[in-house]
Amino acid sequence: MQEQITVGSLLREYGGNYISQNKVTKGQQSLIHLLSACRTGGLGSHFEKCDHCSYTEKSYNSCRNRHCPVCQQKEKLEWLDKRMKELLPVGYYHLVFTLPHELNPLCLQNRKVMYGLLFKAVSQTLLELTRDVKHLGADIGLVTVLHTWGQNMKEHPHLHCIMPAGGLGFDREHWVHVPAKNNFFIAGKILAKKFRGKFLYLLKQAKEKGELDFHGKLAGIKGPVQFNRFLTPLYKKDWVVNVQAPMGNPEKILEYLSRYVFRIAITDRRILEVKNGKVRFSWKDYRTGRFREMKLDVDEFIRRFLLHILPKGFFKVRYYGILSSRYRKQNILAAKQLLAQEVENRKEEALEDGGQVWEKQDTVWTEILECIQNFRQPNCPVCKKGRLRFAGLVKDVPWEPG
């Protein structure tokens, strides 16, 4: 059986030549070296020991970089450790806000500014609309995750949002439930129109403040008249906002959370072959729902991969509303208490009526608690009962990037 080709192995073989033949930033060069060395002797090694049977093994160190396909599983588990206990016993919506492709060149030259505007426009759109009593009249929570790619690895900036179905009342004394529907409780056209207006307003502000760069092909829209002419068609265009039905199953909730938080431009399993200077990989055509294959020159594959390196210090996962960092603990505790009290009230009402019809209302919460306790499965290859834990570094020669 052929060994799985990885992004790391591909960069080890072809990264040096790519650096010498192309204009590469220091950050891109550093990333190529780091991913090439991930889980090799280049980064040293460490011991892992089973917490049940004391089995010990030696493993190569990981680069822990957020753009590395190999390291995402460990990062995912660590993130889930923090987020797991914050799940509420309600359904969760999944929304995706996408920027029009006409803005892609502007994004490539102004990643930090443009992606920051995307976070701001989406969060303001949802928080303002849901506070309106015509729609919900409550304070919601959002987990937002930035993706900058499509399946073909080209620029395709969009924001994934995970939102509990409902929110805290303004008085913080009750949980406001959303109507029991199969789709979102705010019309898609309203969401898209609000999102479009918010983003373009913020974009014009950024231009007036001199926060945007216009190099090369974008030099022609640098002037105020030319820039406004560039924006005009975008006000008339229908922007895309996709909404998926609320998820009540906690396993699906966790799957969505971890899947979108730790997805990168391409996973190792999608790389099928590297032969004759070309990379063959699979991709999903969302227009047809079918998986297809694509071939790219190695240099073009690496170029597309590097397109999606985020600016240093830029947070691709952000939290808003009742899930924002400052008051997250208090808000989550209040929400859990209110929702638990609702269940108790329903049980009491059912008992007074001489029935047990509300006993099943607590099943989602029970399933979530079971997921919290059991989501990290044993991985010891000997006893099959324990988990391998870090047990100290191996004193190897330290690796330095070339």
Rounded CA-CA distance 266/263 in Å is 8
Whichever domain contains 244, its CATH number is: 3.40.1310
Portion of the chain with pLDDT greater than 90, in percent: 54
Is the residue at 139 inside a domain?
yes
The answer to whether 57 and 387 are in contact (CB under 8 A) is no
Q: How many domains does the chain have?
A: 1
Give the pLDDT confidence score for residue 391 in this predicted structure. 84
Give the pLDDT confidence score for residue 287 in this predicted structure. 79
Give the pLDDT confidence score for residue 360 in this predicted structure. 43
Give the pLDDT confidence score for residue 166 in this predicted structure. 92
Is the residue at 319 inside a domain?
yes
Rounded CA-CA distance 31/312 in Å is 11
**DSSP classification of residue 402:** -
Place of tokens 């309600």: 90
Tell me which residue range forms the domain holding 260: 75-265+312-330
Is the residue at 112 inside a domain?
yes
Is the residue at 271 inside a domain?
no
In the predicted structure, residue 180 carries a pLDDT above the cut 70: no
Is the residue at 249 inside a domain?
yes
pLDDT tier for residue 54 given thresholds of 50, 70 and 90: confident
Rounded CA-CA distance 308/149 in Å is 7
* Cα dihedral 239/245/248/251 (nearest 10): -70
Give residue 321's region: left, alpha or beta (phi > 0; psi -120 to 50): left
Instruction: Tell me whether residue 31 is exposed, middle or buried, using C-beta atoms within 10 angstroms of its C-beta: 0 to 12, 13 to 18, 19 or more.
Output: buried
Give the pLDDT confidence score for residue 1 in this predicted structure. 45
In the predicted structure, residue 121 carries a pLDDT above the cut 50: yes
Which residues sit opposite 271 in a β-bridge?
281
Rounded CA-CA distance 94/258 in Å is 13
String of DSSP letters for 230-264: HHHHHHHSPPEEEEEEEE--HHHHHHHHHHHHS--
Is the residue at 20 inside a domain?
no
pLDDT tier for residue 355 given thresholds of 50, 70 and 90: low
Is the residue at 210 inside a domain?
yes
Give the pLDDT confidence score for residue 361 in this predicted structure. 44
Please choose, from the candidates 12, 10, 32, 66, the residue with its C-alpha nearest in 3D space to the C-alpha of residue 264.
Answer: 66
Give strand ranges (E) for 212-350.
240-247, 271-275, 278-285, 290-297, 317-321
Q: Which two tokens stand for residue 245?
A: 């039905």
In the predicted structure, residue 97 carries a pLDDT above the cut 80: yes
pTM of the prediction? 0.85
Give the pLDDT confidence score for residue 282 in this predicted structure. 94
Query: Across the chain, what does the average pLDDT equal?
Result: 86
In the predicted structure, residue 369 carries a pLDDT above the cut 60: no
Averaged pLDDT for residues 176-182: 75
CA-CA distances (angstroms) from residue 213 to 47, 85, 119, 135, 382? 48, 42, 19, 38, 57
Rounded CA-CA distance 122/140 in Å is 13
* Cα dihedral 267/268/272/278 (nearest 10): 90
Is the residue at 228 inside a domain?
yes
Residue-wise pLDDT tens digits, 215-269: 999 999 999 999 999 999 999 999 999 988 777 665 666 667 677 778 888 888 9
In the predicted structure, residue 400 carries a pLDDT above the cut 60: no
pLDDT tier for residue 178 given thresholds of 50, 70 and 90: confident
Q: Which two tokens stand for residue 36?
A: 């090439």
pLDDT tier for residue 12 given thresholds of 50, 70 and 90: very high
